[in-house]
Amino acid sequence: MSFPKILSANWGVPDNHHINVAMSRGQYDVAREVLGGARTPDDITAEVKKSGLRGRGGAGFPAGMKWGFLPKNDPRPRYLVINADESEPGTYKDRRILENDPHMLIEGCILASYAIQAHACYIYVRGEFWHQQSILRQAVQEAYHKGFLGKNCFGSGYHLDITVHSGAGAYICGEETALLTSLEGERGYPRLKPPFPATHGLFQCPTVVNNVETIANVPWIVRHGGDAYSQIGKYVVGPDGRPQVDSRGTRLMCASGAINKPGVHEIPLGIGLMEYIDEYCGGVKGELKAAIPGGSSCPILTADEVRSVEMTYESMAKHGTMFGSGGLIVLEQQTSLVWVLHNLLRFYSHESCGQCTPCREGTDWLYKILGRMLQGKGTEDDLREVLDIADNMEGRTICALAAAATMPTRSYIQKFREEFVSYFVKGGRPVDRRGRYLHPVAPVGAAV
């Protein structure tokens, strides 16, 4: 289907990260107009609300609604914080935005800051993204030099400072409250909620935390209107003439794994997952076994489910998984899911911040048990134990990292139990360093 490319339109344009190139393609026009007095802050918020734009960081919370939660008539300063701590395994879309179109993000920051009347905006970039950081920092400098940022943006009297802050390489700092704590200079521990960032965020002031991709959509939405954005996508219109799903617009998908064309693709929401794999990713390499649709913390989908799920938040939820951050990982038949889960749990046990007991101890315990299973020393009791430990962890912690480890764990074991059981032989089953069986196996769990 045809749709306007919003986020990736200028990717590949030479030197697009320089402000003059970006401006020649119309970047900053909207911000200049808006700050010049063409639109009120409430207007912008209303436009974003109308667009139905949902947060692209993982939780999918409607962006306009989030902005609306800030307390009115509060004397404290307000902050906009951009979450560019993209660390979810399988996800690498924000990094492409930072590399290819940093000015789109900066313009989005100006518009969003204006909408919530923030005069300081922080972009918290993942520590490992040093290259992307240098591009972004240069872009911010250029915007300052042009007078688009600083004391008097576009000569409008509105002032806004954007600070690029580097993380130090912790997955947990992508959790919004941990990000705020880290930004304040403390150890990146998630905070108890409530109070929520909307009322007690950065420096205990009202704060909006948005993902890079979410904010990068804002200039387009303000320019073309929320209605235009909400019409993008493939959805069924109900009898009242309104779309039946709340998943509108485009989003970036990052495909990896057993596909022919891995990469970041901008897709209209609502198309089938299999359609995406076939049309954008060049099809599955080998025989489809399963797919993780939205980053490593999402429950896994079996081949059958992959064929029936649509790329909407609603369809994903109906299939018991999440759209998450759009990091699709496709797994083919020869890949050992025990190995995959073990690999995943190593990540989560390494990245658990250690604040809450269940996650601190549980993630590593699961990892160690999976390690034992991988060596063929597991038993049926171990599987029961793993599920019980997962029960004791999930929903018992301050943030969702424990759930990010347990949701996949549970779904892998429930959906591919035979494969886990097949490991209960002495020595396990040999795999190569990418987790593929050395001795080809008959398809498991797939409709063949």
The SS3 assignment for 89 reads: coil
Report whether 173 contacts 180 (CB < 8 A): no
Rounded alpha-carbon distances, angstroms, from residue 221 to 22, 257, 325: 18, 33, 20
- In whole angstroms, how close is the CB of 400 to another protein at the nearest point? 11
Q: Quick count: other Cβ atoms within 10 Å of Cβ 258?
A: 24
Q: In 175-246, at which residue ranges do the beta strands (DSSP E only) sit? A: 207-211
Using CA atoms, how far apart are residues 314 and 320, in angstroms rounded to an integer?
A: 10
CA 392 from chain centre, in angstroms, equals 26
Nearer to another protein, 164 or 398 (CB): 398
- In whole angstroms, how close is the CB of 421 to another protein at the nearest point? 19
Nearer to another protein, 201 or 219 (CB): 201
Residue with tokens 């395994």: 89
Nearer to another protein, 47 or 394 (CB): 394
Nearer to another protein, 58 or 243 (CB): 58
- In whole angstroms, how close is the CB of 349 to another protein at the nearest point? 6
Output the six-digit token pair for 5: 């490319």
CA atoms lying within 13 Å on the CB side of residue 370: 31
Using CA atoms, how far apart are residues 50 and 44, in angstroms rounded to an integer?
A: 10
Report whether 322 contacts 88 (CB < 8 A): no
The residues binding another protein (CB under 8 A) are 170, 187, 191-192, 195, 349-358, 360-365, 368-369, 372, 381, 385, 391-393, 395-398
CA 385 from chain centre, in angstroms, equals 31
**Pair type for strands 120-125 and 207-211:** unpaired
Number of H helices and number of E strands within the chain? 20, 9
Q: Quick count: other Cβ atoms within 10 Å of Cβ 285?
A: 15
The SS3 assignment for 281 reads: coil
Nearer to another protein, 306 or 369 (CB): 369
Using CA atoms, how far apart are residues 278 and 311, in angstroms rounded to an integer?
A: 14
Nearer to another protein, 190 or 445 (CB): 190
- In whole angstroms, how close is the CB of 355 to another protein at the nearest point? 5
Nearer to another protein, 136 or 170 (CB): 170
- In whole angstroms, how close is the CB of 216 to another protein at the nearest point? 30
Phi and psi dihedrals of 194, rounded to 5?
Answer: -70, 170
- In whole angstroms, how close is the CB of 365 to another protein at the nearest point? 6
What letter represents residue 26's amino acid?
G
- In whole angstroms, how close is the CB of 392 to another protein at the nearest point? 3
Torsion of CA 78, 134, 17, 115, to 10 degrees: 0
- In whole angstroms, how close is the CB of 381 to another protein at the nearest point? 8
Instruction: Report cis status (omega within 30 of 0) of the bond before 268.
Output: no
Q: Quick count: other Cβ atoms within 10 Å of Cβ 271?
A: 18
Nearer to another protein, 199 or 231 (CB): 199
- In whole angstroms, how close is the CB of 79 to another protein at the nearest point? 18
CA quadruple 111, 112, 118, 122: dihedral sign: negative
Nearer to another protein, 187 or 261 (CB): 187
Nearer to another protein, 44 or 366 (CB): 366
- In whole angstroms, how close is the CB of 191 to another protein at the nearest point? 6
